[in-house]
Amino acid sequence: MESYSEQLHQLINAALKEDLGDGDHSTLSSIPADAKGKAVLKIKQDGVLAGLDVAREIFLYKEPSSKFTAFKNDGDEITAGEIAFEVQASVHTILKCERLLLNCMQRMSGIASLTRLYTNKLWGYKTKILDTRKTTPNFRLLEKEAVRIGGGMNHRFGLFDMIMLKDNHIDYCGGLEKTIQRAYDYVQGYKPNLKIEIEARSIEDVKKIVEVGKDKVFRIMLDNFLPEQIAEAMAIINRRFETEASGGINLNNIEQYAKAGVDYISVGGLIHQAQNLDLSLKAMISKN
């Protein structure tokens, strides 16, 4: 798999191509090609900063001689009115990169801010918060990075790095026992280090997985269980498998799930319910 840096550069390249087309005609028509300038990122809303390192990479990718000065770090709690960074570069570069870096940082900071709210709720518990694959196509790299910056943990990145057997897999395959065995045989013959997680939809499912999943399954997902059902399932599992709660979990009830003792809680809303944080890139003009 390509490194994070390689994937990021591919994302930046594709996004700039999408935005620029055959040229930034607004800038080409009004700004001399050799004009140099300075701009600052202004924070307009309280939250958690994410994407600052991405902004740096965007400028350096477009103009390696750009001078980028950070006043904050990714993961910092920020307040409206603060300045996150200053950049000095060609004015053409600043204007070409403006919307891309804002789109990235506003989206990432919104996700990091929401994730921080969830992780704060779990303070003192052993339970960890996970994201999901409910992401924006072709932007998953940075959305999951924002979760990490906000204090959460990344679940599988895609379909390739873990076997997750959910309700449709189980129903199409013909039941829990058959699904587990076929997945296990596949892993042994194809990719021995690939871990298997399987969804349980009821206490009966939990009992069956505990019975047939020994040495085959590493984690049980307890899907749409109430907190009291989680506690019942945990007693049955008795730490023989990792456990993950999912479905219907939000800021109002997440502590109830943590109290039940589950290892992980996955919340798709960390990403798809996050609201962008308000940021702006402003030109700094010298006054003579």
Residue 2, C-beta contacts closer than 8 angstroms, at least 6 positions apart: 10
Residue-wise pLDDT for 35-72, tens only, equals 999 999 999 999 999 999 999 999 999 999 999 999 99
Q: Tokens for 22?
A: 């055959």
Q: Which helix (H) or strand (E) holds 48?
A: strand 47-48
* The pLDDT value given to residue 287: 62
pLDDT band at 288 (very low <50, low <70, confident <90, very high): low
Residue 118, C-beta contacts closer than 8 angstroms, at least 6 positions apart: 129, 152, 251, 254, 267, 270
Q: Say which of 156, 166, 207, 216 is annotated catalytic.
A: 166
Closest of 201, 202, 163, 211 to residue 183, by C-alpha: 163
199 assigned to active site: yes
**DSSP state letter for 153:** B
Q: Tokens for 228?
A: 């009291």
Is pLDDT above 90 for 286? no
The DSSP code sequence of 177-218 is HHHHHHHHHHHHHH-TT--EEEEE-SHHHHHHHHHH-TTT-S
31 residue type, one letter: I
Q: Say which of 57, 74, 145, 199 is annotated catalytic.
A: 199
Distance CA 44, CA 249 (A): 30
Residue-wise pLDDT for 157-209, tens only, equals 999 999 999 999 999 999 999 999 999 999 999 998 999 999 999 999 999 99
Q: Say which of 56, 128, 133, 134 is annotated catalytic.
A: 134
Distance CA 250, CA 14 (A): 34
Distance of CA 38 to the CA centre of its chain: 31
166 assigned to active site: yes
Going from N- to C-terminal start, the domains of the chain cover 4-111+275-284, 119-272
Hey, do 4-111+275-284 and 119-272 end up sharing a CATH topology, with the first three levels equal?
Answer: no
Q: Say which of 36, 99, 126, 259 is annotated catalytic.
A: 99
Residue-wise pLDDT for 200-227, tens only, equals 999 999 999 999 999 999 999 999 999 9
Q: Say which of 131, 223, 244, 263 is annotated catalytic.
A: 223
CA 122-80-91 angle, to 5 degrees, is 120
Class of domain 119-272: alpha beta
- Give the CA diameter of the chain: 79
* The pLDDT value given to residue 285: 82
Distances (CA, A) of 234 to 168, 173, 180, 261: 24, 26, 20, 7
99 assigned to active site: yes
Q: Which helix (H) or strand (E) holds 88?
A: strand 83-90
Is pLDDT above 90 for 237? yes
72 assigned to active site: no
Class of domain 4-111+275-284: alpha beta
Computed over every residue of the chain, the mean pLDDT equals 97
